[in-house]
Amino acid sequence: MFQKVLIAEDHGLTGTGLRGRLLDLSIPDIQVVYYCDDALLRIKAGMRKGNPFEVLITDLSFKRDYRNRRLTSGEALITEVRKLQPHIKIVVYSVEHRIGKIRALYDDLKIDGFVGKERKDFNEIHTAITAVFEGNTYIPESLRQALRSAENQLKLDRQDIYLLELLAKGLKQEEIAHSFKKRNYSGSSLRSIQDRVGKLKIIFGAKNPIHLVAKAIERGFI
């Protein structure tokens, strides 16, 4: 079994519960942090000392508080951790239910497992960690069914979803192009953004950007 696991979870009781459940697997070193920035520091420290973490378990949503933070989401944390330690195993433990978003976690961020918090117990995290230790990617059966569903077979990449999120916030296409440039995304010109919006309108059968956002929300992509 794994020897060293890091849990990033801003709800103290949840982090403690996860740690307790993993102790049943006889994992000797289980650390819990409440901020993504702290998680990244622990990852760096482990690598520097020649004793890296083997698994990161992280939530996606972290509440804002008095502390200034650079990393404010589990997705941002995963992205940074993958740069530093590409082969670390990553399991997401989240209330996220949007199929498009979860698909992107597997396809783009290459997570090794996803467990939904709504189950209200920690039994499935035990199953997920065991599956990942055995070299498998863990996808709950209910999620497998949803991913297989014809309703959710749209293939959107990370940039498509980010564009939809910005449209949902009311940003104009010129502003979206600027955001793409800041993230160093390819196709960040206004024309490229217009073409991408046009492609998405065709995929979703939308008449205009407002209709596109409504369709994307309905299908669970944002």
**pTM of the entire predicted model:** 0.73
CA angle 214, 179, 114 (to 5 degrees): 60
pLDDT given for residue 148 in this prediction: 67
pLDDT for the residue 171 = 95
Helix or strand run (H / E) with residue 74 = helix 74-84
Cα separations in angstroms, 23 against 97, 113, 153, 187: 27, 19, 38, 47
- Predicted pLDDT at 154: 66
Task: Determine the pLDDT at residue 98.
Answer: 78
Q: Are strands 4-8 and 29-33 parallel, antiparallel or unpaired?
A: parallel
Count of CB atoms situated within 10 Å of the CB of 146? 17
6 and 39 Cβ atoms separated by less than 8 Å: yes
User: How much is the pLDDT for 12?
Assistant: 77
Residue 7 confidence (pLDDT): 96
The CA distance from 155 to 55, in Å, is 28
Beta-carbon neighbour count of residue 58 at 10 Å?
24
In degrees and rounded to multiples of 5, residue 64 shows phi and psi of -75, 145
- What confidence score (pLDDT) does residue 59 get? 95
Show the tokens assigned to 135.
């070299």
pLDDT in 10s for each residue of the chain, 222 residues: 999 999 999 887 788 889 988 988 999 999 999 999 999 999 999 999 999 999 999 999 998 877 788 999 999 999 999 999 999 999 999 988 877 788 889 988 999 999 988 755 567 898 999 999 999 999 988 788 777 664 555 678 889 989 999 999 999 999 999 999 999 898 899 999 999 999 999 888 899 999 999 988 877 787
pLDDT of residue 121: 59
Note whether 160 and 103 are within 8 A (CB): no
The residues pairing with 8 across neighbouring beta strands, listed in sequence order, are 33, 58
For residue 35, how many other CB atoms are within 10 A of its CB? 18
Give the whole-angstrom CA distance, residue 168 versus residue 161: 10
For the chain, the residue count is: 222
